[in-house]
Structure 1
Amino acid sequence: MLLYNIGIYLFAAGMRLAALFHPKARLWLRGRKHIFRRLREAIPEGERIFWVHAASLGEFEQGRPLIEAVRAGHPEYKILLTFFSPSGYEIRKNYPGADYIFYLPADTPRNARRFLRTVRPEIAVFVKYEFWLNFLKQLRRSGCRTFIVSAIFRPDSVFFRWYGGIFRRGLRTFERLFVQNSDSELLLDNIGISNISIAGDTRFDRVNAIAASARRIGIAERFAQGGGHVFVAGSTWPPDEELLAELIARRPGMKFIIAPHEIDPARIERLRGRLGCPSARYTECTEETDLSGVRVLFIDTIGILSSVYRYADYAYIGGGFGVGIHNILEAATFGLPIAFGPNYGKFREAREMIALGAARSVRECGELNDWLEALESDPQLYEHTRRLSARYIGENKGATEKIMRYIFGKR
């Protein structure tokens, strides 16, 4: 534990140094300034606190169905939402579904004790990962009921290494670990962790809710009208965009909506210049903008991609030429055939959708073009692929209900 604590102190010191140069590090540091005073001022004594911690934006979306279920079914609780990363906090700091939203202090022994004395949570939920050992230790001492939801474990994780003893002890602080699949259950069982339930992944509940309440995006809707299939590429990185630029040249009859993962105006403008066809940026359009000759629409704002998929005939998800693909479920919930790059092995849903025939991994533009050609030339195959994609979402819903039944005593 000593080495772990030294690592935490060194990390915090490194962030203070990085804050001199990097905006995200400055946000990380600034958001934790005077945090205990701000917590005391925000949270009155005597409130029953349901605490949800998410590392970043993706984990927040994963935990959101549970937050909303608690809000709807158990108004006796006030919901505290914490984030580790600025990319989560800064985007969702005004989320109306939580009563209090803060950064999580660095996981030092003193911070963990002060945080729990100040907040006094009755129930704590960690989403997917974030195994902060000092917080877990103090949660156990305080008697707070502690859970992890939508967790997934892999054989190369620290818990299963010879040096992972302190992390294995951390797992034993949870009252229940709600895991996504039987592989995770087996791995945990092999190290003597038995307080496990296979509940599935709450992201399926989230994307199902997104589809049910998808917003009308007027500019995207007008762009999609007027003939031609619409290809939506979400969360793209430069290697994805290299492939897409070639695809756009190959398929002059298709319309493209591209939502880069990082909204850098200069990068978008460079890409527009390379395409050699009429394009537009979403934020520069109005309801009066003539989109009749535009072939590529760039989504250069945050928060609408999940609704934009409703206008697609095909979807491509970025990240597969880097560390891994982004969220494919937001597209699948609209029953779309989906493609992505080759680095998808860590993502269960990607592997399963490929096995079903609802998705395709591609390494270069020719493979992507051939996949589109096969689907466009065979309407029955296209409709079958759409049904497979939508059915996959439908068959994997229900994790939130299972978790709620356990936590609130309806097992």
Structure 2
Amino acid sequence: MTTTRTKAVVAAETDLSALLDRLLRLAETGLPAMYRPERKTFVFTRAAVTPAVLGAEPRLEDRGESVRYAAITVLGAKLLPEDRQRPIFGGLTAAEYAGVLVEQLPGVGNLGDAALVTWAAADTRHPKLDDALARLAALDDLDEGAAQPRYTVEAAWVLSALCAARGLTDATGVERRLQTARDRLLRARLGAGPLFPHATGPGLLPWYRAHVGCFADQTYPLQALARAHASTEGGDPAALAAADACAARICELQGEGGQWWWHYDARHGTVVEGYPVYSVHQHAMAPTALLDLTEAGGADHGEAIRRGLRWMTQVPELREAPGGGTPEPMIHDDLGVTWRKVFRGDPRKAVRAARGVGSLLVPGLRLEPLERLYPPVALDRECRPYEFGWMLHAWLGSLDSPER
């Protein structure tokens, strides 16, 4: 499992190297159980069902299905040797399965799903990439030059997909649409702040949360802008500068235990509410964005990546189990999962909602009585395919790899 990235980031630290190798093997062995061969789909999640007998191992239940999680799985699994791809996709290679997703695109109405399938088609050099690009164009308005507001994550995926398609097709409009997608992301930031809100413009969110962006709203744009710079002949200094600034700020705000916090005030570059802390952010999403940034010519945030990875086994929130017992680990090799998140367990996400609204008037507002009432000691016992897909993508890939 050792790659250029693992050598650069964790190979010098024996404990982290072993941890990462363990996680990558878990991803490769856990993904086949999330595939439904009869429908050629991936589940939305595998969730633990409480055992009837106290102390017994939980039973995992498959729930729903997801096109976007399937596409993200392709983006990660394509980096494995072909013989190790086939068990994940019911006997198909990642490229062959990308074709299955492209065939489904006429019935896909979600922009984010279409963008990820297009990205997967480009990364696997699928012959029907033009069909995927056509569907993406039908769902977005980039040919008009003044793109409508989109959710930030989906807008970032559109840009990453177009960067991946650059130079692979004679289809007209890719370069023009890429520039519009790039401009849309750069304009999305509020004021002079380095962080991104949840939407790229007004109209999609209620007024009281328009200033709030989640962790995904930071990592996907900084990754997309880094890729825009790396794929542009002569570079794109403005895109790289924006990616660098965003990365620097989320690393400055990282928790003492390596936590990547969840909600930010995009106006002031501050944390609104830290919890939940998600496993996928720690082992996959932060690394894939920050490593892409470094390879594109941006700053090196290796120490922040290492701190985040350590959280997976040194979870400070779970150090004291109820009743004084041994805390449950986040990683379960026997079940083929990493548990999804640590959270407060507050009804209707009360702390997050109160801090989000309160931060409109008082940036950085803390609500200590609520925080004491709902400490972050609850564990979400589920695991989703995209968590392993991004993990493989983060650690096995490179901006310089032939697949890209």
Larger radius of gyration: 1
Structure with more strand by fraction: 1
Q: Please, what TM-score do these two structures have when normalized by structure 1?
A: 0.28
When the two structures are superposed, what TM-score results if normalisation uses the length of structure 2? 0.29
Q: Higher relative contact order at CA 8 Å, sep ≥6: structure 1 or structure 2?
A: 2
